[in-house]
Amino acid sequence: MMVFWEGYVSDEVMGTFAPIVVYWMYAGFYQVLPPLDSYRLHTRKEEEKKNLVPLWSVVKGVLLQQLVQATVAHGLFLVTSQASSSGVTVQPSLPIQLVQIVVAMLVMDTWQYFVHRYMHQNKFLYRHIHSQHHRLVVPYAIGALYNHPLEGLLLDTFGGALSFLVSGMTARTAVIFFCFAVIKTVDDHCGLWLPGNIFHLFFQNNTAYHDIHHQLQGTKYNYSQPFFPIWDKLLGTHMPYRLVKRADGGFEARLVKD
């Protein structure tokens, strides 16, 4: 499979830095959009009132996590390189790559569900580590990777490394997988319910689904991220919701308790 960066940078370098570039491009896209009050899950007043951390702190926290991720990713790519003595890596067929991506998605979902859930159930871990992410009661795109550094290492960096290793994908396939995972994570935190959003069409685990988890009454539910709600449904932590149109514009993801 030919790719546009071949001959310019290695797959390993691309796999290290492309997800970071994609994160800031996609999150930045949401940041520069007009207010779009008719599609917001929370009003701008709620965002200003409820969130407990300023934007500059969020940006700094995300950059720190990405520095750690890039360091681990580059080391992992170098250690697991399948290149021959001539520097060429034989790429698997497209069907095999698709299977590897699906396996990686399931591994990442499994790892993140159980680590994420434990960080809520363990009061010490929640108070001192995971609560940092929940300072954004009203999520927004740039804050998708705003975590305590230890959580970023355990949840995202280790989860990504495990997905890569278990699936057996090459660095080239990893570029596609990790960029997609980043886009999906940013979208889940964007706080907007936009018409025609492809992620809302194909994934039940979406912006509104994760918004429920960020609200105080929903923090014990909807742990699954970033792809499928499988573990929530299997283990009884799935909280259904309905989207209600607000009188002042926008939507509200309202819990539907059994």
Q: Is residue 155 part of a domain?
A: yes
Residue 1 falls within a domain, yes or no? no
Task: Look at residues 129, 116, 128, 110 and name the one whose alpha carbon lies nearest to residue 213.
Answer: 116
What's the mean pLDDT when you consider all of the chain? 92
Q: Is residue 120 part of a domain?
A: yes
Give the model's confidence band at 116: pLDDT under 50 very low, under 70 low, under 90 confident, else very high: very high
| Any domain includes 5 | no
Residue 16 has pLDDT above 90, yes or no: yes
> Is residue 83 included in any domain, yes or no?
yes
Q: Which residues does residue 244 pair with via DSSP β-bridges, in sequence order?
A: 252
Domain count, the chain: 1
Residue 2 within a domain: no
Mean pLDDT computed over 48-73: 95
Q: Are 129 and 148 in contact (CB under 8 A)?
A: yes
Residue whose C-alpha is closest to residue 197's, from 185, 209, 210, 206: 206
| DSSP conformation class of 65 | H
Whole-number pLDDT of residue 142: 96
CA-based nearest residue to 210, from 182, 234, 191, 194: 191
Establish if 112 belongs to a structural domain.
yes
Q: What is the DSSP string of 28-59?
A: HHHHHS---GGGBSS-HHHHHHH--S-HHHHH
* More confident: 197 or 84: 197
Closest by CA to 205, choosing from 191, 223, 182, is: 223
Q: Decide if 6 is inside a domain.
A: no
For 145-167, what is each residue's pLDDT tens digit?
999 999 999 999 999 999 999 99
The answer to whether 181 touches 108, Cβ cutoff 8 Å, is yes
Separation CA 135–CA 17 (nearest Å): 27
pLDDT at 84: 59
Range of the domain at 233: 11-255
Q: Does the predicted model carry a pTM greater than 0.85?
A: yes
Q: Would the pLDDT of 190 be above 60? A: yes
**Cα radius of gyration (the chain):** 19
pLDDT digits (tens, 9 = 90+) for 19-38: 999 999 999 999 999 989 99
Contact in structure between 32 and 117 (CB atoms under 8 Å):
no
